[in-house]
Structure 1
Amino acid sequence: MFNIFPRKLVLREAENKLENLSHAERVVYWTIVLTPLWWVLGVQTLLYPGVGLYLLAYDFHVDKLVKRSLPLCNWMWLLLSLAVLWTNIQGLSSMSFNPMKSAATVVTLLKGYFLVFACLTIPFWHRVRLSVVTRAVAWMTAGYLVSLGIQLIILFGTGPQPALMPPLAKAIPGDKLSLMVKFAVFQPFCGLPLARTELYTADPPILGACALLCFFICFGEIDKYLRKYALSGCTATLIIAQSRLAWTCFPIVLLAVICFRKASARQGFLWFSTLICFICALVGMEVSELLDKPMETFNGARADSSKDRALVVAATLAAWKESPWIGWGIVERTVTWGNGAFELPLGTFSTYAQILYLHGVLGFTFFAIAALTTLWFLWGPALRGKRTAQRAFASLIAMYMLCQATNLSWMIVYFWFYFLWLGTILAEAYPQYVSSWQELSRNNGIKS
């Protein structure tokens, strides 16, 4: 029987207790574990980029860049950040100076693609072990059970509650809507009113993406009891988030991981695909027609939401065509429907449409190269049988699929630890890029 868990889960007691944490590991560990506190205070969008910048600058040496460099995927995320900055400056220069708008743009940049670069790079410059990140995420997701339980008790006991403005959120520039502490509500799904929440995130689909990615991170937790509660928390959160695309991606990730480890699974997938094509040819039907009915069910589960997304994406792409090469830099337009009853900024849905609209072909090219090179650097260790790399590769594909429905630059700050997890996997797979001091402290157990 196929087992997705690692074969050797019994490690040394010292490793199980995560002793001798480095400074970077302590910062990362407590930042992740205390996620509910940052959510209640309303400081998430500034704290996580601040942690990334701090760890990049902490004990920085030029030798870390000159002698060991970094994998190409890290540099591509940095170049993407610079391209985004340049297009943002172009967009801001076309309007009168607005200090709040400029500050909000800088915050958006730091908590977006630059945060990906920082999280991928930190494990190459500091000792940040995979087990430490996994343990922190496991504790955080096990806490999902408590947070969801409290929210459901409030919902069924007193009914839906209004959102609260955290005490420190007012000091953060930009839109305050994503900083609100919101409670569970009833929303229709397939015509039935069901409980739905966004928990520590700004939107339920983002919570679904977090739960999906955390599920495969927590598979690496070596404490079986903590792993059980963490996976239960991820599953419950994935269900209550009601993210249809996250539900669809979940079996796809499982299938991808199985295909890495079982030749029979790869052959079975090919035979199944061949059979589907043969049946379609036999009855004179195209494969797209065969998928129409499932897509109708998928869109019909929350029909209004699907129509709204399609409308906003279409308007976003239409605006991009007016400035195709460098985009508009900043969001200045909105789209309305329902006789003006509904209004959303362009680029609200779909990462790919948003990048084209804001940063044009230039930004989209850097994004595509960064995304593909990250997959490529994970592909090698995954083929060599490294199980964490296999889960990382499969979950990264799922994340790219999730980007079709929600902006990645908006989601990154809520699962920044996922990219840190990817960075630890890359650092273990490519030790030639690891800084000499980090390598020495890893081998000798020195606190860096």
Structure 2
Amino acid sequence: MDFSLDPNFGNIQADRSRLIQILYNLVSNAIKFTPEKGKIFVHCKQSGSRAIFSVMDTGIGISSEDQKKLFQPFTQIDSSSSRQYCGTGLGLALVKKIVNLHQGDIWVESELGKGSTFIFTIPLTRPCEPRKVDTKDLREILIDFEMNKVAICSAKECEKDAQRETDISEISLPEIHLPEKAPESRSLVLVVDDDRNSNELISIILRDEGYCTASLYSGKNVLNITKKLKPEIVTLDVFLPDTNGWDVLRKLKGDPDTARIPVLIISVTDNNELGVALGAIYSFTKPVRRVELLSSLKEITSTFKFEEPRILIVDDDENAVELLSSMIEPEGFEVTKAYSGQEGLDKLFSEQQPDILILDLLMPEVSGFEIISRMRDAEKTKDIPLIVCTAAEFTEKNIEELNGELKGSLISIMKKGTFGRKELINRIKQLAMLKRRDDERNPYCRR
């Protein structure tokens, strides 16, 4: 893979995390559809007042007919050579939305069998007036993605996958890579991330530090492979193409054979994505806009076919509870209020079980994370639609507070793009130490 930057390229004013997200997606697709020994080129140059990025590969290429529908959500290329790459067909639709929000454009140049070049342009300086984009389309894409991602593959393929999931003896294990200069007794870390670049980068960092690594690129069979490999730690990207990563985490923590294996979540890039990572259908930052909240509730009501939905609002901020209630009660929704995490749990599992849960994550004593965990573990509440409302600025301090809540479950969260090699290794060591202390206190619970 070759990277090149035009020497005359100056500064650019853009959303850094979203720009990285665009490039990650395009490069990941190039890697996925380029055979071994193929080549990938990433180039950036300046043309007038715009930046031009291009990602070129020598892969399988795209027919002119498929190019017309490439940026539509849930569209998969139909050519037989690409059917093996089962996915959601969502990534490029989101990329296009992000590029458009930057007042940019994106297109593809490709010839079947000869590779593809994806090109996008954005202004070098932030526009005075943002482009008007129909955000409802984006929300619809996200909710459909969450509810239908497993259905993208054919029913027959999913049936086969489920059969393989139950038959642990037939599962092929990933290759274990040993560190070059370290004792053989070093711990094994299982790296689960569909982004091959991210997966390889994490693995290289860990092996350089003396850890053995094994890589998985999908959520399929993570539980059974973890049972067989018994890694010291699992790193998990919860945004996986074939599985809800939150379900993977829930399975790992719900199985007695894997419950005490520490899990490091390396995925979340902002506060709204944290909510989605925790299984929310919608995630909003405070203060929530009335039109967005009502739109989400109506969408959920329609999708789940609720006639008169009961909504439970859980937040330790009394003003926030009253504000949310005043937004939705006039629209005919029945509202139940809880002003603490414990009160929220009591009402969640009461006889008057809610149809929809609106939840704040950061609460004292009983956190939103604990409520989600308890809700997903119980058969009668596990499918309740969840809307997460987080602080307007989900800071590193908030992440630390949340990680403090998660220590007992041997779970930790790190935001992509906010840490380096040293921070990753330190977090791995911290989790390993917590696991050893836990084993010392509970010798009969050891793996």
TM over 0.5: no
Structure 2-normalised TM-score?
Answer: 0.28
Which has a greater percent of strand? 2
Q: Which has the higher contact order (CA 8 A, sep 6+)?
A: 1
Tell me the TM-score normalised to structure 1 length: 0.28
